[in-house]
Amino acid sequence: MSTEPSPPAPPATGKKKIKAALVGNPNCGKTTIFNALTGARQHVGNYPGVTVESKIGHFRLSARRSGADQRRDDYRRDDYRRDDQRRDDGCHCDNAPAPALPATALPAGDYEIELIDLPGVYSLSSSSPEEEVAFTELTAAGLDLIINVVNCAALQRNLYLTTQVSELHIPMLIAFNMSDEAEAKGERFDLPALEDALGYPIVKTVGHKGGGLDDLKEKLLTVCANLSRHKTPKLNYGEDVSDAIAKIAAPIAEIHVTKFAHIPPRFFAIKLLEHDATVLKMPEFAPVHQLAAEQIQHLSGAHAIDADTFVADRRYALISGICRQAVTFNEEHRREVSDQIDAVVTNRWLGLPLFLLAIYLVFWVTFTGGAPLMELIEDGFGWLQDFIKAEWTDDSTLRRLLVEGVIGGVGGVLVFLPNIVLMFIALAFLEDSGYMARASFVVDGIMRKFGLHGKSFVPLVLGFGCTVPAIMATRSIESTRDRTATIMILPLMSCGARLPIHLLVIAAFFSARQATMMFVIYLLGVVIALTAAMLMKKTIFRGDNEVYLMELPPYRLPTLRGILIHAGGRAKTYLHRAGTVILAVSILLFFANNYPEKQDFSVDYAAARTALAADDEEAKAEIDHAELSERLAFTVSGRIGKFLEPVFQPLGFDWKISTAMVGALAAKEVLVSQLGILYAAGDADETSESLRASLVKNYSPLQGFCLMVFSLLSIPCVATLAMVRRELNSWGYAALEAVGLLALAYVVTFIVYQGGTLLHIGTKLAGG
């Protein structure tokens, strides 16, 4: 048995506030368990210095128990007491007894748990931003507990991370998640033997169904009550490796790095043997580098294998030995249902059509299901406008600001909330079911023809929701060239902020084929994005494509709770934008659209109305429109629009649309808000429905389609440009993105409008 310095004293028993970290591989169900434990008591942020999303939640564990519960716990504690001889004979670790849990340890109180959902990682090798974040968080002081979520249907791969985390000697509870899938495959686990071998308590869970969560909480309660009685397992990787670890750990203990005083020197000794980049960069361990290099050379020479993979090979050998003793398989080897489904959805000929059909159904659900709720919101805002006008008879600037600027601007955006929520629900269903991973596999061959690979697919799909987190998701792409190219084309994905524009135009001009037109505009963005990627990969990002390896998680039925959490988070973000950015811009646009006020007109419109016959409503409407146009042209917005109109006129845009596009730089949804304010100026009765009627009256379907095309391809919002700069650490790339997309949008829209005009496609005013 190898020796090592004793670890620092654990925290005192009965600590009421516990800081815990949730650790696991990608696709292990970790986030599902996090949501189930914390519910709504969570918030999302970013780690400083890296663009990796973090989630922190809170929940309370109650230790109030009946006498019957206590007797049951006493009975279950017997499961933790193992025969020492059995452990010595069958265990693959030194000094790794399962925790002994005395009956008196449970306190008569509650525990407040702060749970950190770390990004999914396969190891702590610090080779990616996610792994660096996990390494930093797990080695920081103040962490009381680790909950390691393991996909037991792929046990050996998942336990690799477990062996690394266990070297931290922090109290840990292992959740064998997806146990139903493992059992369906014929796997059976000897949990007592696994607990002996790994040195930590284990509980089986089925996170997506809520199975085992009560057992998880109960065992977690026991672990929290016995933090000071935590054992410190030390996995045995073989005598030669153990000797090398001990030789490196000894001088590390003498260095005594203060910020890592709570971490055993053995952990860093193993990291140096693994040639871990993060630990090698730490100046505190520089005095040990030479010794570590000598031990690596010694092990490599003695065993004639690659030094970089030596420790990893020993870890897998250890895991394999544990699984041979504690995991059994039924003799029946039947084909899984997921394999049968994959034979269809990943089929060479059927895969792509089925994927396109799935996306089309997403759009169909978005429109069909959202229409009734959209009408209710429209009616609600219309009633609110009528109520304010009835109760507030004074036609003051403040009343107009409230009715036209706030309700007309923000309400014109909020009316699309049902469509957006339904779209996010549908996408969350596809993602949580495991289908999106198959879609990545299906399109991998196609994307390679454009210079990308399947790893770029997931960020591109996320771009349909919001470009900012989609850009962050590119961190999983190892190749710098591929990652940069993916980031540069991501704004061409039609994000949720553009969705209100599409919904407005499609409902106005293409109401008979809404899902088809939405599918076309989204597909157009994808085609142009892939074409741009191909050009970039053949020029500025020239290089060979990397091999694409991807894990296909098993199919599972998404939980309603998980879907609602995903959709609710998106809806919350959308509402936050409507209540902050869009509200502020709408107020600014109201004043820009109404001031300065024109006093002298080129025509006496009042006299012109008087001269009309009482029943000549059409002529009166023309005079009203002429007066309104002259008044608006005199305002700040009008002057900006008139200045830009010659530039955008070849695209089919007048000064009103040109003005709205300027405001859309802050947030794309503002374009809808601005049009609503412009067409409501002088007539507060305008609602979203009448805005569509105004568009039909003033523009052709071709102009409406060009508006969608330009909004799809042009400069993204300021937040996206800021994220491009942050991810690529270059203002040059951000500027190139803005200028390039503006030029692309102008050229494509020019071709569409001029071509459609020459061919007389959609040029007739629908309201004419």
pLDDT tens for each residue of 386-407:
899 888 988 788 988 888 778 8
CB 18 within 8 A of CB 114: yes
Matching residue, tokens 């525990």:
111
Relative to beta strand 202-204, strand 53-62 is: unpaired
At 100 the pLDDT is 40
For residue 61, is pLDDT > 80?
A: yes
At 75 the pLDDT is 41
CB 463 within 8 A of CB 490: yes
pLDDT tens for each residue of 652-682:
998 888 888 876 776 677 788 778 767 764 4
CB 20 within 8 A of CB 61: no
Matching residue, tokens 């279950």:
76
Between CA 735 and CA 741 the distance in angstroms is: 10
Q: Residue 131, by phi and psi: left (phi above 0), alpha (psi -120 to 50) or beta?
A: alpha
At 673 the pLDDT is 72
- pTM > 0.75: yes or no: no
Between CA 111 and CA 170 the distance in angstroms is: 18
Is residue 145 very low, low, confident or very high in pLDDT (cuts 50, 70, 90)? very high
Average pLDDT, stretch 247-253? 91
For residue 163, is pLDDT > 60?
A: yes
Report the mean per-residue pLDDT for the chain: 79
Closest CA to 768 of 688, 696, 675: 696
Average pLDDT, stretch 70-99? 41
Q: Residue 687, by phi and psi: left (phi above 0), alpha (psi -120 to 50) or beta?
A: beta
- Two tokens, residue 287: 């005095």
**Could you give the domains of the chain?**
17-233 (3.40.50.300), 240-329 (1.10.287.1770), 354-548+557-591+610-759 (no CATH)
Between CA 695 and CA 133 the distance in angstroms is: 50
Alpha helix (H) residue ranges in 174-264? 179-184, 191-198, 213-225, 239-255
Between 353 and 371, the more confident residue is: 353
Average pLDDT, stretch 369-397? 86
pLDDT tens for each residue of 30-50:
888 998 888 755 554 444 434
Q: For the chain, how big is the Rg over CA atoms in Å?
A: 31
For residue 385, is pLDDT > 50?
A: yes
Give the SS3 label for residue 148. Answer: strand
For residue 545, is pLDDT > 60?
A: no
CB 17 within 8 A of CB 224: no
Q: What is the DSSP letter of 28?
A: S
pLDDT tens for each residue of 276-298:
888 888 889 999 999 988 888 88
- Two tokens, residue 767: 């309201």
Average pLDDT, stretch 749-768? 86
pLDDT tens for each residue of 453-489:
777 877 787 778 778 767 766 766 767 788 889 999 9
* Percentage with pLDDT > 70 across the chain: 80
CA 297: distance to chain centroid? Answer: 43
For residue 752, is pLDDT > 50?
A: yes
At 63 the pLDDT is 64
* Neighbouring residues of 611: CB distance < 8 A, sequence distance ≥ 6: none
At 1 the pLDDT is 34
Task: Report in angstroms the alpha-carbon separations of 517 from 64, 367, 524, 526, 667.
Answer: 59, 11, 10, 14, 23
